[in-house]
Amino acid sequence: MTTDTDTSKTALNAPQGDVSWMRQAFEQVQSNLAATMKLASQSISHGGVMGSVNEEHWADLFRKYLPNRYDVATGIVIDSRGNRSEQIDLVIFDRHFTPTLLDQKSHRYIPAEAVYAVFECKPTINKDYLDYAEKKAASVRAMHRTSVTIAHAGGTYEPKPHFRILAGILAPDVSWADGLGEAFERNLSADPDAMLDCGVALDRGCFDRYEGVLSIANEQGALMYFLFRLLARLQSLGTVPAIDWAAYSRIIRP
């Protein structure tokens, strides 16, 4: 078993320009997460409990690698018109400008304006789970989002246009024999409202459609490739729009 100490020694002894030690460390992150999820599937008999445990493993991974401007939680996305999405396994949202609402322990209502991305965490990737994740994505993208001007020392910035909320699926494996191959591609929705932008199957690789075409990485260490690609995409979105709190206040006093 490779330890952090072993990886550090390898890095110190590696010649300049040698990235193999870094690649091995990234591969170990993936192997460790896969082993942790396998242990959960073998030791937890209740499907719902196992699902919640694995959601937390994914959430912990995101929290470890995402900058502090982002938060990650399970929750329901809401808007100023009283609409609610379905329960979302993992929501990546702004933690700097927009508070969550009506929190009850780990359960959160997250304003739609704060959402960057939503993910479903499943035991595998197959047609049914793809359809399920796509419906969840559509339910979030249908939310009404406000945007108001932002005051600054020299005046105001115009309301920021809304970016398209990212959506994805996370799983230990894929059910199709060819992994993220032809069968997987056939079952991906092309509907922009429901379309999944990215996903990862720990034992088979990852995919994304950030550039408008399907890109699949099957190499060992694809988990970190997925995370770096997600980070770059989140970075390109910038900050979330400024929420119109007056619109939410009208819920209390129309």
pLDDT of residue 1: 47
Separation CA 46–CA 135 (nearest Å): 25
**Residue 221: closest CA among 35, 23, 22:** 23
pLDDT of residue 20: 79
pLDDT of residue 6: 56
| Residues found in the chain | 254
Please identify which of the residues 71, 120, 134, 197 carries the catalytic annotation.
Answer: 120
Please identify which of the residues 55, 113, 122, 136 carries the catalytic annotation.
Answer: 122
pLDDT of residue 46: 45
Is the CA virtual torsion 46, 109, 100, 152 positive or negative?
positive
pLDDT of residue 104: 65
**Active-site residue, 89 included:** yes
* Per-residue tokens: 53: 């445990």
pLDDT of residue 122: 94
Cα angle value 217/220/225 (rounded, 5°): 50
Domain ranges of the chain: 47-252
**Active-site residue, 136 included:** no
**Active-site residue, 185 included:** no
Separation CA 177–CA 13 (nearest Å): 40
- The stretches in the chain having pLDDT less than 50 are 1, 10-11, 45-46
**pTM score:** 0.84
Please identify which of the residues 71, 79, 89, 94 carries the catalytic annotation.
Answer: 89
pLDDT of residue 124: 93
| In contact, 216 and 176? CB cutoff 8 Å | no
Strands (E), the chain: 70-78, 84-94, 101-104, 107-111, 115-121, 150-152, 155-157, 166-171, 198-201, 205-208, 215-217
pLDDT of residue 48: 52
